[in-house]
Chain A
Amino acid sequence: MALKKDKPETVMPRKPITKYFRKYWQLYAMMVLPILYFIIFKYIPMFGNILAFRRYRPGLGPFGTEWVGFHYFSRFMRDPAFWRAFRNTLILSFENLLINFPIPIIFAILLNEVRNLKFKKLVQTVSYMPRFISTVVVIAILKEILSPSSGLLNNFLTSVFNIEPIYFMNEPKYFRLLYIITDTWQFTGWTAIIYLAAITGINPDLYEAAKIDGATRLQQIWYVTIPSILPTIMVMLILNIGRMLSLGFEKVLLMFTPSNSSVSDIIDTLVYRTGLANQNYSYATAIGLFSGIIGLILVSTSNKVSKKLTGDGIY
């Protein structure tokens, strides 16, 4: 996922600005609308965050009416609902990382060992597909499969183990598990692309040498494949840690029920409820800004760490 700007290869000789502009004005003209778009839809909302420090009055503009300083911040800092959401966000992110970080790596390594190229291609193609399915559909299917009255899983549990139907979607103890396995289902194949690309780049001579030394395929994986893709794994790990606060908000919102709220209320859903449902705009903006700033710090720190350790980052 490394996006790097390249250095200009040749420095253009400095021409007088009018002549330069006469030559390139069309290129600048192209950018007018897109830049306006970025100003209006990205930068104005960014400055709109000052609402966190101002009181909002309906109909009097999106930036609030009077300064209140850190009033809303100190309010949410004393709010147990905020700390619950904060804790839930971190726990869910951490557990998700713990499980869904290694799985695509293992999948990519195993897929690489498939010798029948047509079959390999088929598995690859099918495994990417869930990435393009709407979260609404994923959760709708999940709810049907887990339905206590007619779902596959409960039917199976009742008929084979004689267990009473379980309300999976409502019970807090299943929420994180369900969040994580739907993520596994949706993103394993897709994330594996990066590792497969890294594996493809390994010098085949290394495998030849290992074979001559009598390494089994398991040993080849352990001593050649994994060390070779370790830099990629490190970069991905660091970047994922940087993104700890951004969970799949839409999915959590779709899975949210009042009975599982003790674990499913994350920062983003709290912002949504206090902001849009209860229209405490300033209060919700303050929470959103707080988590946005922590997110920014996490991402830039992790990027710095990544660059230092591996020479690779996202910007």
Chain B
Amino acid sequence: MKKKRSVGDVIFDIIIYIVMILTLMICLLPFIYMLAVSLSDSNSIINNKVIFIPKGFNFEAYKKIFTYPDFFKAYGNTVFYTFFGTLISLTLTTLFAYPLSKVHLRGQSIIMKFVIFTMFFSGGLIPNYLLVSSIGLTGTRLAMLIPFAINQFNLIVLINFFKTIPEEIEDAALIDGLGYFGILYRIVLPLSKAGLATIGLYTAVFFWNDWFNGLIYLKTNQFPVMLILRNIVNGTAMLGDAAGSADKATIALSIKSAVIITSTLPIIILYPFLQKYFVKGMTVGSVKG
């Protein structure tokens, strides 16, 4: 069955494998570089000896950043926003997606239009900002959570997911006297773990990575870790003794790298285990409802 491969075929394969290996390297090397810098001593960094392998291996930068109260606090803030943001978002999105997955429900198509219109035209930065401040959310942690409670794309992914659940299962439960709240909680949700995991992950990543809303709405002690990182990189914030120290540029460098690695670590560690859910959303969302 196996035919002899032509020279052209072999060359083709070689080119493809080179491209793919390059892709792998381009995706991963920035992190490996950051990791190496964060684990190296400042002398080696100054002398440009560090590329992808740490020189003068040590954990000083990590030890330091966790003694800085600002960083520690910000990390806690981010965990808080991610946890509660995801919780609120999953609850409201589920409550909306379930009725909207019932195409025969009166008013469903009007409400869908009402939702979809907001994907194409929105208030824009200033009206949103003025709304959040006029209802008194500015300077409270709720400003990071409530305004982003429902993402329309995630909503549509979940609606499409709920549509795949056969209605016969619900009909039986209705006859048994279970209301729709009961059906949603006891029957639909247990069947939808994959769908919920998918949008839950998108939402969690959104809250974990958010910094801009922190910048415009929050007080310094409420800042998420990404905003602290942005301020360090900008030079508008210095952590602890990095300011004023003799070789502050390089200390700052290994510390910066340590902050980058630490703040991205949850995503990098969890990603390989959860990536199938990430991809699912992309494909479910694109399948026509």
Contacts and interface: CB of A to CB of B under 8 A. Distances in A.
Interface of A: 1-12, 20, 24, 26-31, 33-35, 37-38, 40-49, 51, 61-62, 107, 110-111, 113-115, 119, 122-123, 125-130, 132-137, 139-141, 143-145, 147, 149-150, 152, 155, 159, 185, 189-190, 193-194, 197, 216-218, 250, 253-254, 268, 271-272, 275-276, 281, 284-285, 288-289, 292-293, 296, 299-300, 315
A37 B229 contact: no
A315 B112 CA distance: 11
Given A28-B99, A34-B92, A45-B131, A51 B48 contact: no
B250 interface: yes
A219 B239 CA distance: 58
Q: Which of B34, B109, B122 has the most CB of A within 10 A?
A: B122
Nearest to B201: A132
Given A27-B105, A42-B122, A134-B264, A33 B95 contact: yes
Nearest to A129: B271
A contacts with B: majority SS: helix
Contacts of A288: 124-127
A248 B8 CA distance: 41
B77 to A, nearest CB: 15
B237 interface: no
Given A132-B205, A185-B30, A271-B126, 15 more contacts: A7-B103, A35-B96, A62-B127, A110-B20, A132-B209, A133-B209, A134-B211, A136-B226, A136-B233, A194-B286, A216-B8, A216-B12, A218-B8, A250-B211, A284-B125
Contact of B279 (A1, A4, A128): A128
B263 A137 contact: yes
A37 B111 contact: no
A296 B27 contact: no
6 contacts: A45-B128, A107-B23, A134-B208, A140-B229, A150-B48, A296-B120
A151 to B, nearest CB: 9
B219 interface: no
A113 B11 CA distance: 13
